[in-house]
Amino acid sequence: MIEAGEVTVNGKIETKLPIWVDPSIDRIVVRNKVLEQAERLLYVMLNKPPRTLSAVKDEPGYDRRTVTELVNHPAAARLFPVGRLDYETVGLILLTNDGELANRLTHPRYGVPKTYRVTVKGKLDQDAIQELERGIFLAQRNEGRTQGAKRTAHVEIRLIAQDRDNTVMDLTLREGRNRQVRRMLAAVGFPVRKLERVAMGPVELKGVARGAWRELSRDEIKLLKKAAAMKLGEHQDSPSHRGGNKPKVPYVDPRSGPSQGVRRRSIKNAINRASLSPEGGNTNTSRGPRAAPIKRRPFKDNN
């Protein structure tokens, strides 16, 4: 086609080989059709503010701000959010035009961890911590209908601060059900007061003010792709990576001083314990049938 004079580069017919071009700069026309330039893959970190929709555009009849409206990248107009954060939830959300990576980051098969900084009302006690670690039975909905309940997978809890009125913790999970963090904590009697996502896999929220964004660095992109390439069970902190042993995560009592030892407990993996109670069982309990009941606190969840 080139030798037949059917290709032009920047308005000039080229008939001799080879022809060296830069597709991102040169205008190439073949048989009167312009070749589209290859789209540059972009990876953006946004510090999502409250009252912002995690979507490309809002539903008809509404006029809510979306995350894509906050990212005015000069090189791409077709970025889309990776997963979702609730309308009022703040913190890290990634936007990209890399569909393959976005699918791996959100698909439960790959189990890429998401970490949330959570503030709850009240003083989180041992019973609640153990119940969260075992897994909470949450109702599953499909097409607007409740279809039984399923236990949540294991979570990792790290206490940051605690007093009589509030508890601050980092909670890491590898699944993403609708309003999962809020529903889990409400189920054990500790309604969420503040919720912020602070990490997705190895990428942490840093260097970005609320409502602002920045491109990921090369190192961050490399680490993110590496994390998304591993299937659930292949991550370094997973049971299978350690020869099948359940992971040990330290629980630190904020009241203990630096001289006191750290008490360690096994995280109860709800995936392995799901057989204790059939899916779709009694949704009024978050334990299997062998577990003893725990005392619950009355509460009103306004979140």
Enumerate residues 6+ apart whose C-beta is below 8 A from 229: 104, 110
The one catalytic residue in 86, 125, 237, 253 is: 86
Residue 163 is among the residues annotated as catalytic for this protein: no
Tally DSSP H helices, then E strands, for the chain. 6, 17
Query: Nearest CA to 187 among 291, 87, 287, 269?
Result: 287
Question: For residue 135, with 0-12 CB atoms within 10 Å meaning exposed, 13-18 middle and 19 or more buried, which class applies?
Answer: buried
- CA 155 to each of CA 140, 212, 266, 281, 290: distance values in angstroms, whole numbers, following the listed order: 18, 29, 11, 21, 21
CA gap 111, 201 in Å, rounded: 9
Burial 270-293 (b: 16+ CB within 10 A, else e): bbebbebbeeebeeebbbbeeeee
Query: Which tokens hold the place of 133?
Result: 């670690």
Query: Nearest CA to 212 among 73, 102, 26?
Result: 73
End-to-end CA distance of the chain: 64
List the catalytic residues: 86
